[in-house]
Chains A and B, each alone.
Chain A
Amino acid sequence: NAGVTQTPKFRVLKTGQSMTLLCAQDMNHEYMYWYRQDPGMGLRLIHYSVGEGTTAKGEVPDGYNVSRLKKQNFLLGLESAAPSQTSVYFCASSPTLGTRDQPQHFGDGTRLSIL
């Protein structure tokens, strides 16, 4: 039972390079989220999706884009990486809108360094 899978697990980029982080879930969850976590800052929501084909901005969306073309996948893109985007990125998913008490399930993170 895979749950939430993130790829890649580690990546080093140069400033200005682009890349896409992939999140896949096999639990048929409607909601998916991308967070970044920096020391002392806790988890901050970048973007989220309430269903296939829909995305919305979170707390810190600048410099990132997302797409949810398939229900099971949520992609996070960095068009032009900056050192300030060095962080640990977590993807999460949760079940349908009606089940308010359902918690999130997290992937094991992507550690991204921008030089």
Chain B
Amino acid sequence: RKEVEQDPGPFNVPEGATVAFNCTYSNSASQSFFWYRQDCRKEPKLLMSVYSSGNEDGRFTAQLNRASQYISLLIRDSKLSDSATYLCVVKGGSYIPTFGRGTSLIVHP
């Protein structure tokens, strides 16, 4: 089993839709979790950290489920500009992040 797994997609949704991605991780000792966004041929950029209590930033909501070892990202009211690849990142005790392969989102008019 890979350390961090994501559904590669693509998720193809219309503008205004709500879409959710999950990411599972295998190391139960993992302590820090992040979602990054990567546009085509660009560098990954931090979208948001994920906290145990869940957190929200505008249209984006991140959740952590330690019991089932997954994190999620919910995007409400999708915009064309949300089209990108979303990378899940997990850090364990070594402080070395492990990246998922990413989930591709395409928002169409």
Q: Which A residues are within 8 Å of any B CB, using their own CB?
A: 31, 40-43, 45, 48, 50, 58, 88, 90, 97, 100-101, 103-109, 111
Instruction: Report yes or no: B49 in contact with A43, Cβ–Cβ below 8 A.
Output: no
Cβ contacts under 8 Å, A43 to chain B: 44, 87, 99
Contact partner, A97, options B42, B95, B102, Cβ 8 Å:
B95
List 20 A–B pairs whose Cβ atoms lie within 8 Å, in order of A's numbering.
A41-B101, A42-B87, A42-B100, A43-B99, A45-B96, A48-B96, A50-B95, A58-B96, A90-B43, A97-B95, A100-B31, A101-B49, A103-B36, A103-B49, A104-B89, A104-B97, A105-B46, A106-B43, A108-B42, A109-B43
Cβ contacts under 8 Å, B42 to chain A: 108-109
In chain A, what residue has the closest Cβ to B97? A104
* Alpha-carbon distance A106/B99, docked complex (angstroms): 13
Q: How far is the CB of B10 from chain A (nearest CB, A)?
A: 13
* Alpha-carbon distance A108/B40, docked complex (angstroms): 12
Cβ contacts under 8 Å, B41 to chain A: 88, 109, 111
Q: How far is the CB of A80 from chain B (nearest CB, A)?
A: 27
B45: Cβ under 8 A from any A Cβ: yes
Contact partner, B101, options A31, A42, A45, A109, Cβ 8 Å:
A42
Instruction: Report yes or no: B102 in contact with A106, Cβ–Cβ below 8 A.
Output: no
Interface residues in B39-84 (C-beta closer than 8 Å to A): 41-46, 49
B22: Cβ under 8 A from any A Cβ: no
* Alpha-carbon distance A104/B45, docked complex (angstroms): 9
